[in-house]
Structure 1
């Protein structure tokens, strides 16, 4: 029998279900704790989601069970959740358009947390008030280590990226992926062309550093750090800052200070759980790039 509790979040009434269901068995971490984490981190998270079409990765039976990506807002989505109708090139269900939800507020975030939407992914662009897509406001480099390389080597490459970006008058903001790699985000106000710029910069670093590759082919990646510049394709999304990840324990895609990146000497130094991230937010505030910068 499904447990149901009705709560008021800001001015919205939400029915929360199965709060005692364990979603991370190795950590005995329940759906109630997922909702609590997202609620407490929302002052940092929601500004980075606002205006961005949402893709979630849902785990209704926990991280050890079946999961699915969801772009289209569910049929039972409350009418107060903002949705935008956008083209859906390459849709796996052959849809020409999709009604994407947009997380503009805490009630929407809690609604999705209650659906066991553990992972939150968004694109590098936003929509206007009328739902029209805007030019990208962010550029991202996704750094993926090919074993035996680890996030330690990713940090080395992130510093190279930071310095190259600075030479172009741009500022990079690092975060962990919450898995084995990391990303560097860049506020962008130079219109279209993020993918071309990211590709050129990745190729430039590849030419100068033998431990860097900009090639996606797996055979090119052992022992190197792959700079995935293709995440800047408007059709792609990247895990949001402060999102949980569906790992054995509730790790989080965590914004970093550059001093932490420079000092990293072992992979476990940059593994942060939900509890760690809440403590970091309490101490440092939002370490990620200014929303809308």
Structure 2
């Protein structure tokens, strides 16, 4: 790496060195690492509240979305000391670790640090840690709606409206977002009334029984064609879901985008709910954080 490819910057009082800013990470659109960092810096006001206190898993693409990628849970050895970490148990670790040192991205410098690592996708669990780094009970319920071709996000929207009604009857307010890929997710603040996976599974099974021609609640892929799989298992504490406002590693820099319910109700084509980084920045200017609980 040539010295010219390294750029020292100061972000909110923290010293960082950015590198290879002209590297193209999304070849189809020519979207560079500099643009990735710019997007995450500008979206930070609405993104950071959804990362705060949540152990971070990233998916890194050092050579862009068409190159090799890998998930990373353990904070890299070169992570600055000012990045908060939480050492948590790692049952079933593929690398035989007893614990993992997760990064907790609570501020703009930490976000820029990871963007510079080409960590395009940010994934977090449905729970947070306390000030001492200890895991707290889940505070969020999530349903991941995955369409089995030829079904698309249009069919996911129909299922989302069904779920909204069921959740509302239980006193839970659902918030929709796209996955940034082919499906969508529904979130709700969780009050701990029971184990969230058990609750989500029961709702998914009930809707699948009521609409067997449209919905499936089991993971067997042979049952999914033309239907929407309600993945309730994302509520397992060991699992993560792509964060609101995270980029996705598609051909274009699409984003997991919070939605208005009227957009869900009016969706007629998959392209209706495809939003790129520039679209989402404009939406933030217009709507603020659509995923806020306020």
TM-score under structure 2 normalisation? 0.98
- Residue matched to 1:284: 287
Distance 1:129 1:286 in 2: 25
Is 1:262 the counterpart of 2:265? The answer is yes
Does the CA-based 8 Å contact 1:122-1:240 persist in structure 2? yes
Matches within 5 A, 1:206-221: 206-210=208-212, 211-221=214-224
- Unaligned 5+ segments in structure 1 are none
CA-CA distance at 1:129 after TM superposition: 0.2
Matches within 5 A, 1:215-234: 215-234=218-237
Mapping of residues 1-293 of structure 1, within 5 Å: 1-2=1-2, 3-190=5-192, 193-210=195-212, 211-290=214-293
Query: How far 1:163 sits from its partner (Å)?
Result: 0.5
Question: Retained in 2: the 8 A contact 1:144–1:227?
Answer: yes
Distance 1:96 1:239 in 2: 25
Counterpart CA distance in 2 for 1:197 and 1:89 is: 23
Cα displacement (A) at 1:90? 1.6
Q: CA–CA distance in 1 between the matches of 2:18 and 2:137? A: 36
Q: CA offset at residue 180 of structure 1?
A: 0.3
Unaligned stretches of 5+ residues in structure 2: none
| Matched residues, number | 291
Find runs of 4+ consecutive structure 1 residues off by over 2 angstroms: none
Shift of 1:289: 3.5
Q: Give me the whole-angstrom Cα distance separating, in 2, the residues matched to 1:127 and 1:225.
A: 32
Distance 1:91 1:8 in 2: 36
- Matched-pair contact (CA < 8 Å) for 1:72–1:98: yes
**Hey, what's the Cα distance between the residues in 2 that align with 1:134 and 1:174?**
24
Question: How far apart, in 1, do the equivalents of 2:292 and 2:193 lie?
Answer: 18
Root-mean-square deviation (Å) = 0.9
CA contact (8 A) 1:136 1:191 kept: no
- Cα drift, residue 192 of structure 1: 5.1
